[in-house]
Amino acid sequence: MILNVEGLIKSFRGQKVLDKVSFELKEGEIVSIFGRSGAGKSTLLRCINGLETIDRGSIKINGEYLYRENENYIEIAKGESLKRIRQSIGYVFQNFNLFPNLTVLDNIILSPVKAYKLDKDIAIEKANNLLKKLNISDKRDCYPYELSGGQKQRVAIARACILSPKIICFDEPTSAVDDEVKRSIADIIMEFKRENIAVLIVSHDKDFSYSISDRIISIEEGKIIS
């Protein structure tokens, strides 16, 4: 398994948002987590990506623990282990989170070069290859305000892919996009599957989730119900 989540509990201000969530994700598998707004889907993604600290349980990614219980506290990955885990997982945010003052190319290479010390020339080469693959090579020197929603989505996907992750997470990938962009996103996700990259999607778009996924997990009030 590329991802193991066991007994995950997460609360905000004493209110449980995730309650004993457990599931697994295999290499090359597409899994959608379906639920209404406020069900805990996005919080789950943020925990898996290390953007939220969990209260109880464990998360293992590519064979290494991001979080695990150690007696009465949560042990968090550090150093080289944390670096490897973060390289193993890409995250495409619902609102893209592109830096408005940076070009498309600079948005993609910023983290690999600054945080992971990837050689800049190598990062640029990888970024150019991804932009070509995603059919937006002509936008590499544009700024986010010059892009359509679908183009911003592709830039966010390129940024998530540049470190060759084992898992790519999508937070509401079809919100506020038209049917043509939805079909494009579906094609990209199916290409990830062919490359044996696991894909985890959280969505309230039932039609999209069922059309693209190998498996559906339903979550309600922080609990997996099926």
Answer left, alpha or beta for residue 71, where phi above 0 means left and psi between -120 and 50 means alpha.
Answer: left
Residue 64 lies in a domain: no
Contacts of 24 (CB under 8 A, 6+ apart): 1, 3, 4, 5
pLDDT for residue 147: 95
Residue 62 lies in a domain: no
Residue 148 lies in a domain: yes
Contacts of 44 (CB under 8 A, 6+ apart): 5, 8, 10, 18, 21, 33, 202, 219
On whether the pTM is more than 0.85, the answer is: yes
CA atoms within 13 A on the CB side of 74: 20
CA–CA dist 196, 145 (Å, integer): 33
pLDDT for residue 202: 92
| CATH number of the domain residue 46 falls in | 3.40.50.300
Strand partners, 32: 201, 216
Asked if residues 18 and 10 have their Cβ atoms less than 8 Å apart, the reply is: yes
- Kindly report the backbone phi and psi dihedral angles of residue 17, in degrees, each rounded to the nearest multiple of 5, phi listed first: -100, -35
Residue 194 lies in a domain: yes
pLDDT for residue 37: 81
Which string of DSSP letters, residue by residue, matches the chain?
--EEEEEEEEEETTEEEEEEEEEEE-TT-EEEEE--TTSSHHHHHHHHTTSS--SEEEEEETTEEEEEEETTEEEE--HHHHHHHHHHEEEE-TT----TTS-HHHHHHHHHHHTS---HHHHHHHHHHHHHHTT-GGGTT--GGGS-HHHHHHHHHHHHHTT--SEEEEESTTTT--HHHHHHHHHHHHHHHHTT-EEEEEES-HHHHHHH-SEEEEEETTEE--
Residue 39 lies in a domain: yes
Residue 66 lies in a domain: no
CA–CA dist 74, 150 (Å, integer): 39
List the domain range (segments joined by +) for residue 135: 29-52+79-224
Q: Show pLDDT as tens, one digit a residue, over the chain (226 residues).
A: 999 999 999 999 888 999 999 999 999 999 999 888 888 999 999 999 999 999 999 999 999 999 999 888 999 999 999 999 999 999 999 889 999 999 999 999 999 999 999 999 999 999 999 999 999 999 999 999 999 989 999 999 999 999 999 999 999 998 877 888 888 899 999 999 999 999 999 988 888 989 999 999 999 989 999 8
Total domains in the chain come to: 1
CA–CA dist 205, 216 (Å, integer): 12
Asked if residues 169 and 45 have their Cβ atoms less than 8 Å apart, the reply is: yes
Residue 15 lies in a domain: no
Residue 111 lies in a domain: yes
pLDDT for residue 179: 85
Which pair of tokens denotes residue 134? 């995603």
